[in-house]
Amino acid sequence: MSDLEKLFDSHTHNFDTKNRGIVQVTLSSRENLPFYFSFGVHPEESTVDLAEIEDLCNKFIQKPGFLAIGEIGLDNRYASLDKQEEIFVFQLKLAAKFNKPVILHCVNSWDRCRFLHEKNAPETMLIYHGFNKASITESVLDYPNSIISIGESVLTNQQLQSSLAHIPDTRLLIETDTGKGELIDTYRLVAEIKKLSLQALTELLNQNAKRIFKYE
Ligand SMILES: [Zn+2]
């Protein structure tokens, strides 16, 4: 296995990724399922058939590579927050039913996302993906079921770099999301800030991923 394949990518939209990671499957990309994948309806999509989402989850649950529900959540840049909540809560309940961790898309809505998660899927882990808002790090870590997943924005976001040192090793993941950069560049910077070797960070994040996503 090459070094790149050992790096775990907790959330990517790239179906051709060379890294080991969780690829995002959506309603429009559900035919060729990746080895590891998550499935969920993004808050940007406001016209969805909830029964269809549940049917797909019932189908995917037979596959060992179905590791998480997501990305789902709330995003206050888009209209129809009531509709977003309805779709988010429905999918949180599916996560609880299937005992799957949740990959969270959250923009300016942390308190509400936490409240709804705690109410509807309290036993599941909540992975705050694309985390880049250093000012709420403490509040997110204060929620015991949360995990922080960081992408390439850390390369240029100095506040995020500073708060990274305070994120416990066991609560951290790294992702590419829709980024165009290389996952290894984010790994290298995080390793440097956390004063770990690249290998030690890779092992650590693989352990985290196994614990959180329970894959073989
Ligand atoms: Zn994404």
List for the chain the helix, strand, coil content (%; round to 5). Answer: 45, 20, 40
With tokens 């015991």, the residue in question is: 144
Q: Is 37 helix (H, G, I), strand (E, B) or coil?
A: strand
Cα of 98 vs centre of ligand 1, distance in Å, is 21
Contact 69, 40 (CB under 8 A): yes
Cα of 178 vs centre of ligand 1, distance in Å, is 6
Distance CA 22, CA 190 (A): 20
**Lookup: tokens for 41:** 């309806």
**Lookup: tokens for 20:** 């080991």
List domains and CATH numbers for the chain.
3-213 (3.20.20.140)
Distance CA 152, CA 181 (A): 7
Cα of 24 vs centre of ligand 1, distance in Å, is 7
Contact 137, 166 (CB under 8 A): yes
What pLDDT shows up at residue 5? 62
What pLDDT shows up at residue 215? 85
Cα of 13 vs centre of ligand 1, distance in Å, is 6
Cα of 27 vs centre of ligand 1, distance in Å, is 14
**Lookup: tokens for 135:** 């000012």
What pLDDT shows up at residue 46? 79
User: Maximum CA pair distance of the chain?
Assistant: 47
What pLDDT shows up at residue 85? 96
45 contacts: CB under 8 Å, gap ≥ 6: 27, 87
With tokens 């100095």, the residue in question is: 158
User: Tens-digit pLDDT profile for the chain (216 aa)?
Assistant: 555 568 999 999 999 888 889 999 988 877 789 999 999 999 998 788 999 999 999 999 999 999 999 999 999 999 899 999 999 999 999 999 999 999 999 999 999 999 999 999 999 999 999 999 999 999 999 999 999 999 999 999 999 999 999 999 999 999 999 998 999 999 999 999 999 999 999 999 999 999 999 987
